[in-house]
Structure 1
Amino acid sequence: MRQALGQFKWPLLFIAAAVLIPVLQLVPMPLDLWKHLPGRSVIAETYILIERDQPPSPLTLTPTATWLSGLSLLPPIAVFLGVLTLSNVERRYLSLLVIAMAVASVFLGLLQLIQGPHSALRFYDITNRTEAVGFFANRNHLAALLYVSALLIGVHLLETLAVARTVHSKRIDANSLALLIGWLTALVIVMAGAMMARSRAGLLLMFIALLGSVSLARADMRLKMLRPGITSAVIGTAIAIPAFLSPLALYRILERFGADSADNLRIPFARNTISAAMAYMPWGSGLGSFVPVYQLFEPTPEMGLTYANHAHNDLLEVWLETGVVGLILVAIVCSWLFRRSLALWNDKAKSGIDLPLRRAAAIALALLLAHSLVDYPLRTTAIATVSAMLAAFLFWPLPDTGWKPRFTAETVSSHKRVACPPPRINVEITL
């Protein structure tokens, strides 16, 4: 236990700080102190207009939304702490589970496109009805799962190559060839899914994920001993797949890079969010308060039939809702990820899938953070829990202490059996 606390001290402290933000935002404050917080004059004036005494108020402007936002942290925290306790083998199985869910999402998205905008397989009322969304409500979130899965598939594909090199130095046997074909097929599926989703950021990040897989191959010491022709053939096939798939969906993809009034709103969203964040410096308006606070700063000409549910830039939204504290935590995460990535890339381990898997997790987290600058994938519970899993991958599991329960099946069977006579029971009956 002491060793676990020492190794995971900093992530546990970070989790405590993240949980403490909504807790402190919900604590009622004395009115004399609360009135000096920036941006609270609107609420104070409202109580004056209705001629009622204002009760002690918390820092957040939306207590219910802040409470729900705090509860939404529980799934990723639970997944992160749970994965920290797993062995390397169990973490590999988890990566396979993510890949399986991504492939299933692609097939579901294909059925959604076939059935059209009113498909019963679209599980949300507010969704992208002309795109494949899989189990999500938003095409961007499906794309996030797919480019993360592409990196994980690349790791397993490279591991298959390395194992084939170890077992058969001069050729690839039938079993390894079947696995290679399987992983390449999975890669084709997730890339086709990204094209069906038509997320512009997702397509760009999928391409970067493929380049990341190539960098994983170049950094793997085991593959450097493999015959260059085999490695080049596999990597070349993986790179050529998008070239063959692109013409099939070229028209639909180019449509997404044309003029789109809804997506062009990201610039005014960002501008208005910055104005709101400056008005609520340095403590923010409270977690979950973006929608009502943004409406206070939205210019009348920009108002329409739709409303901004998020800033489409998580950095700006965190700044608005948590102020300086949130920006500090984001800076800590980015700094830690950069330092951890450098350490993983400088690691010279020559065997095993675990180091490439950690490197892939670091690349995937960097892509998700980059995606968060134009969207909000990490605010989706599914992507948040996958990100928590990837973050836990960056920590080596605790060494096996060798401790076993005192009484197990092995210890019982190893002892000699001793015949024990049944206990004698004396019963006296008095009439």
Structure 2
Amino acid sequence: MRNEPGVLVTALIVLACLVGGGGVAYGLANLVLQLAAILMLALNGPTVANFVARGPRGLSLLVLATLALPLLQLIPLPASIWSSLPGRDLLQDSLKAAGGGEWHPLTVSTARTLVSFLGLIAPFTLLALCLRDLSEATLRKAVLAFVGMGLAGVLLGTIQLLGGQGAARIYPETLNPEAMVGFFANRNSTAIFLVCCLLLLCTRPSSRLFSIDWIATASAATLLTVGVILTQSRTGLVLLLLPLGLGLLRGGAALLAGKSSPGSGKGGRMVIGSLLVAATALLGLAAAAGTVPESRFDMVLARFNKSEEQRPAIWEDARFSAERFWPVGAGMGTFDEVFQIDESLENISPRRAGRAHNDYIEIAIEAGAAGFALIALWTCWVLWAAWNGLGRHRRWEALAGTGILLAIALQSLLDYPLRNQTMLCMAAFAIALLAGAGRAGDTKVSPEGARP
């Protein structure tokens, strides 16, 4: 296993897609993925050491800082320190009433912050394994795995639409029969995952018009796009502009260059082809059965006109929580704990908010100034890595990785895309694409990416 990083990367991606789309509410499913990741790290011990010692210095430091944040929040502090931190008054009173409280960590909920740290194990493993072997063969296997699982998600989502209420749903609490969710617990996560798969499709080698590879890629792109539409996710529909723009840019570059690259192996085409046939057949059956009527697309457009939006009310109360715990934060993963205290009576609804529906506000509550410092540092690294990779052989990988991280950053304004294991692994792979595209040993390129 230690000599097959491509196989391990592929296996981890497939497992993340199968069991990692439910978020923190599905701890056992997440545990399966985390134990598999720990096993892979145990069998490839030098991988971690090499990542820390010989990996890209800036990236290694950023990853270690990200892992360290929840761990530092778990270190016990004497009462004279933690009780003086902002927002700890209620916690202090509760611990005193219970007869304890001499030592306590920075976080207000040790269990939730520990879960947040454990959630970083799988994406760290994927990133470390990818950086161990950044060969084109490994990256193509990973791209094929993500795109294949995206198509499988559309296949499963079509079955869900055909079956109606609750049919083939992995996560039963999401029972909206009109929206495709696939392997995820909510439509927004499904939509951004499919958008990311479309961006990854743009990294495939250019093919001759109407060749087998071209038809397979175009068909996969069409099905993934239809999948995004059927999720009825407003952010997903807007984010479709990113793969559309990158695809047009790639196609324009190919036309200008007047050349094509050889396609990938027959095995990959067979996998994608099989999924295409099955998904196309089910979509046709759904249309014939009246499950995808014209009014369904009217419903998608009608979602942009909804006036009963609850997010502004959640943001208003969440900003108060952020101010109460600023600048140290309440601890990673603790939003749902502290928000219940600050939610105003006029904004209370029968459903719990669960999330801030704006990851920047949520990070302000949970991590304070340190969280925003990490966001700023990651942004600087992504911009530097993208610029560094544009003039090299793998510039399309650099653009796809940048597009994935940009899509995540944009959806984070209205949702929480990185709060499930699957999208965390997708983000880790996007970082690996950027790191691989800007390697010092990579060659410069001609306009379409051919080596000189």
Deviation at 1:67, TM superposition (A): 0.7
2:411 matches 1:371: yes
Q: What is the alpha-carbon distance in structure 2 between the residues aligned to residue 137 and residue 150 of structure 1? A: 20
Structure 1 equivalent of residue 267 of structure 2: none
Deviation at 1:338, TM superposition (A): 1.7
- Among 206, 219, 228, the alignment partner of 1:160 is 206
Distance verdict in 2 for CA 1:24–1:4, change over 3 Å: closer
Give secondary structure in 2 for the equivalent of 1:342.
Answer: helix
What is the TM-score when the length of structure 1 is the normalising length?
A: 0.78
Deviation at 1:280, TM superposition (A): 0.6
Structure 1 equivalent of residue 424 of structure 2: 384
> Highest Rg: 1 or 2?
1
Deviation at 1:181, TM superposition (A): 1.4
Q: CA offsets, 1:54-93, max 9 Å, x none?
A: 3311110000111111111101111111111121221011
Say if 2:55 and 2:131, in contact at 8 Å, map to a contact too.
no
Structure 2 equivalent of residue 81 of structure 1: 128
Report the RMSD for the aligned CA atoms in angstroms. 2.5
Q: What is the alpha-carbon distance in structure 2 between the residues aligned to residue 335 and residue 107 of structure 1? A: 38
Deviation at 1:258, TM superposition (A): 2.6
Distance verdict in 2 for CA 1:53–1:356, change over 3 Å: closer
Structure 2 equivalent of residue 129 of structure 1: 176
Structure 2 equivalent of residue 138 of structure 1: 186
Deviation at 1:4, TM superposition (A): 8.2
Distance verdict in 2 for CA 1:267–1:3, change over 3 Å: closer
Q: What is the alpha-carbon distance in structure 1 between the residues aligned to residue 226 and residue 157 of structure 2? A: 10
Q: What is the alpha-carbon distance in structure 2 between the residues aligned to residue 3 and residue 284 of structure 1? A: 29
Give secondary structure in 2 for the equivalent of 1:284.
Answer: coil
Structure 2 equivalent of residue 361 of structure 1: 401
Give secondary structure in 2 for the equivalent of 1:57.
Answer: strand
Structure 2 equivalent of residue 290 of structure 1: 335
Structure 1 equivalent of residue 299 of structure 2: 252
Distance verdict in 2 for CA 1:66–1:181, change over 3 Å: same
Structure 2 unpaired stretches of 5+: 1-48, 260-291, 442-452
Deviation at 1:249, TM superposition (A): 4.3
Which is worse superposed, 391-400 or 206-215?
A: 391-400
Structure 1 equivalent of residue 258 of structure 2: 226
Q: What is the alpha-carbon distance in structure 2 between the residues aligned to residue 255 and residue 78 of structure 1? A: 41
Q: What is the alpha-carbon distance in structure 2 between the residues aligned to residue 29 and residue 311 of structure 1? A: 28
Structure 1 unpaired stretches of 5+: 165-171, 228-244, 401-431
Q: Say how many residue pairs are matched.
A: 359
Structure 2 equivalent of residue 195 of structure 1: 229
Which is worse superposed, 18-27 or 209-218?
A: 209-218
Q: What is the alpha-carbon distance in structure 2 between the residues aligned to residue 76 and residue 396 of structure 1? A: 16
Distance verdict in 2 for CA 1:211–1:289, change over 3 Å: same
Q: Superposed, which structure 2 residues align to 1:28-39 within 5 Å?
A: 28-39=76-87
Q: CA offsets, 1:180-223, max 9 Å, x none?
A: 111111111001101110100001101232112212334x4x54
Deviation at 1:270, TM superposition (A): 1.5
Structure 1 equivalent of residue 247 of structure 2: 213
Say if 1:146 and 1:190, in contact at 8 Å, map to a contact too.
yes
2:386 matches 1:338: no
Q: What is the alpha-carbon distance in structure 1 between the residues aligned to residue 361 and residue 434 of structure 2? A: 27
Q: CA offsets, 1:72-116, max 9 Å, x none?
A: 110111111111112122101110111100001001101101101
Q: Match for 1:197: what amino acid?
A: T
Say if 2:51 and 2:128, in contact at 8 Å, map to a contact too.
no
2:100 matches 1:60: no
Q: What is the alpha-carbon distance in structure 2 between the residues aligned to residue 90 and residue 213 of structure 1? A: 22
Structure 2 equivalent of residue 150 of structure 1: 198
Q: What is the alpha-carbon distance in structure 2 between the residues aligned to residue 89 and residue 80 of structure 1? A: 16
Q: Match for 1:110: what amino acid?
A: T
Q: Match for 1:38: what amino acid?
A: P
